[in-house]
Amino acid sequence: MLLKQMLASPTTSSELLVFDPFQALDRESLVREVIGLANASVEGPRNILFGVNPGGVNGAKIVGISDSTISDLKRAHRLISGLVEPVLDLAFIFDQIDGKLVGALEIDGCEFGPYFLAHDLSDELRRGACWQRDGRELVEIDRRELLNGHAQAVVEAEPVALPDSVDVAVGFNDDPDCEFIEVTAPDASNPPFADEDTSSDTSMTRTITQTLKQTMRLTTQMLNMAKEDEPTKDASGDEHDAGREVAEAARKHYFFEECAAKVDLCIRNDGDVALKDLAVEIGMPRLPGLDVADRIHTNPFDKRSVTGNTSSSYPDVENRDGAIIIRTTLGSLAANETQSLFRTSLRFAVQNEALGKKLALRYALRASDGRKISEGRVKIRFNAASA
């Protein structure tokens, strides 16, 4: 479900929990809600929405979340990942709406339940505890009841074979009918360490090494630990290698995060049959001055950067000679439903050679048996930022 769709009707249901924005973040409550939503009798992803007050006066529903709450949510995310069995696919989605930060925790991969508490969390919450959300109610339940019901449903359910072709619309952002978009590419003409001499260990090494000593002592220690099993090098060699690694990481973060053109795609099912287990493949030519990030690149000078969960939700990107291939999967897509193709925006690094050129992105949808059941293309053009 798209974040804007959640905001259009922020009502707690078996698919969506609107977390009280005036309630302190309680890890025990959050664990209950994640397990309850995972066990709900619905299809597809479920979400917990943060920063919205559905009872707001005069439509002022968005109250936002603070930076400290974001940090708490990231810590809670890692905690929940190890507290729930079987493993769930969890991902955070954040966006600025009306100048305020709103977020959602997406819970996906819920077809392998029942889900329950994997370890003791407190005196009240012990291993094996299980909940299920039924509309606005969260009910504690014996997981054996869910297990029996799940097994019966598996036996009774008839497999739905997808037809040889399906009717879908793929477009940009939240509009599946938008087949062409122009995107302003941020100015990327001043990358870090661009003026340093990368062929020697002179000014660049001294600059980066000094920065490391001041802001990245932990990174230096990790780099040294990684080299413990390697042949001994002199200290200047280690510093030089560390400097090069950090400089390269800083440049990639600059091009693919700070100055990236971020692109989102969505898909709508225009047919009468629910689509399940779809593989989506997008191909595009490799143009001079244009590249797509293959992962989220962190800032090596920011120790607060935490991207493990975000990177795991980034689509697969394969760089070939002359082409870039992007792959992702869709768990389910009901008839007339629209959803994002990617949980995390694609990052395009755009330089002068690629500006003003129209680029075609060809997509193909495949069923679980590999059959191509739909194909098409959308187009994009990157323009220079106005002076």
User: Per-residue b/e over 216-251, b at no fewer than 16 CB within 10 Å?
Assistant: beebbeebeeeeeeeeeeeeeebbbebbbebbebbe
Q: Which two tokens stand for residue 347?
A: 């990052």
**Mind listing the pLDDT tens digit of every residue in the chain (387 residues)?**
577 778 877 889 999 999 888 887 788 888 999 999 999 999 889 999 988 887 765 557 888 888 778 777 777 777 787 888 888 888 888 888 888 888 888 898 888 878 999 888 888 888 889 999 999 999 998 887 777 655 444 444 444 567 778 899 999 999 999 999 999 999 888 888 765 444 444 454 455 555 554 544 444 444 455 445 444 445 555 556 667 778 888 888 888 888 999 999 999 999 888 888 889 999 999 899 999 998 888 887 765 444 444 455 788 999 888 899 999 988 888 889 999 998 889 999 999 999 999 999 999 999 888 889 999 999 999 999 875
pLDDT single digits (tens) 68-124: 787 777 777 777 878 888 888 888 888 888 888 888 888 988 888 789 998 888 888
The topology (CATH level 3) of 3-156 is: 3.30.950
Q: Nearest 5°: phi and psi at 88?
A: -105, 160
User: Per-residue b/e over 167-194, b at no fewer than 16 CB within 10 Å?
Assistant: ebbbbbeeebeebebeeebeebeebbbe
pLDDT, residue 155, reads 44
pLDDT, residue 211, reads 52
Distance CA(342)–CA(344), nearest Å, equals 5
Amino acid at 366: R
pLDDT, residue 200, reads 45
Contacts with 217 (C-beta within 8 Å, 6 or more apart), sequence order: none
- Which of 339, 332, 330, 331 is closest to 268 using CA atoms? 339
Q: Report whether 37 contacts 17 (CB < 8 A).
A: yes
Distance CA(258)–CA(210), nearest Å, equals 23
Q: Nearest 5°: phi and psi at 370?
A: 90, -5
DSSP designation for 110: G
Q: Which residues are 133's β-sheet partners?
A: 138
For the structural domain made of 168-188+260-384, what CATH number should be given? 2.60.40.2550
The edge-to-edge listing of strands for the beta sheet with 168-172 is: 168-172, 265-269, 338-340
Q: Is 258 exposed, middle or buried (0-12, 13-18, 19+ CB in 10 A)?
A: middle
Domain ranges of the chain: 3-156, 168-188+260-384, 203-258
For every residue of 157-220, DSSP letters joined together read PPP-PPPS---EEEEETTBTT--EEEEEEPP----TTTTS-TTSSSHHHHHHHHHHHHH-HHHH
pLDDT, residue 87, reads 84
pLDDT single digits (tens) 257-301: 889 999 999 999 998 888 888 899 999 998 999 999 988 888 877
pLDDT, residue 360, reads 94
